[in-house]
Amino acid sequence: MTTPEAEKPETAEATPAAVFVRPEIMTKRADFLAAAQGRRMALSGFHLQARFRDDGIAAVRVGFTCSKKVGNAVARNRAKRRLREIARLVLPTCAKPGWDYVLVGRRDATAAANFAQMQSDLKAALGKIHK
């Protein structure tokens, strides 16, 4: 008779235990307003708002917003796509469980800023906010 441990292939143990968990997307206005009352940081390409939820749920939530000041629909959508991508790349490694983050697009900056610079700005901002 074999044990369940003996049936596991050796390659399964070699894979890393950490699995990328996609952050939840915030959709309710009340969540955005609550994040606006939390910590804020202005960066060259966007604004970052963050708050600790203190509701016992460890999920990381993220929201994106671009007002009409950013430009027409094409410019707003481009800015939001860029914000979504930097959040997808940076938040899995730098975000803290139980926090809400809102990335706010800036006029003439979010759509035109250097993408690598925006990534490093987000990493640095998260480090400062969590200190």
> Each residue of 81-116: pLDDT tens digit?
999 999 999 999 999 999 999 999 999 899 889 999
SS3 for 91?
helix
pLDDT band, residue 11 (cuts 50/70/90): very low
Q: Report residue 122 as tokens.
A: 């987000």
> pTM for this structure?
0.80
> For position 63, what pLDDT does the model report?
96
Given a contact cutoff of 8 angstroms between Cβ atoms, the answer to whether 87 and 126 are in contact is no
Domains and CATH numbers, the chain: 22-129 (3.30.230.10)
Task: Provide the pLDDT confidence category of residue 3 given band limits of 50, 70 and 90.
Answer: low
Question: What is the mean predicted confidence (pLDDT) over 25-33?
Answer: 94
Higher pLDDT, 75 or 2: 75
- Which CA distances in Å does 65 have to 54, 70, 83, 107? 23, 10, 9, 12
- List the one residue out of 62, 59, 70 whose CA is nearest residue 105: 70
At 6 the pLDDT is: 52
- Average pLDDT of the residues of the chain: 86
- Output the pLDDT for position 23: 81
SS3 per residue for 53-69: CCCCCCCCEEEEECCHH
Average pLDDT over residues 2-24: 53
The pLDDT of residue 22: 73
Side chain identity, residue 14: A
Give me the numbers of helices (H) and strands (E) for the chain, helices first please: 5, 5
Percent of the chain at pLDDT exceeding 90: 75
The size of the chain, in residues, is: 131
Q: How far apart are the C-alpha atoms of 115 and 123, rounded to whole Å? A: 13
When mean pLDDT is compared across 34-38, 60-64, 100-104, 106-110, the lowest value belongs to 106-110
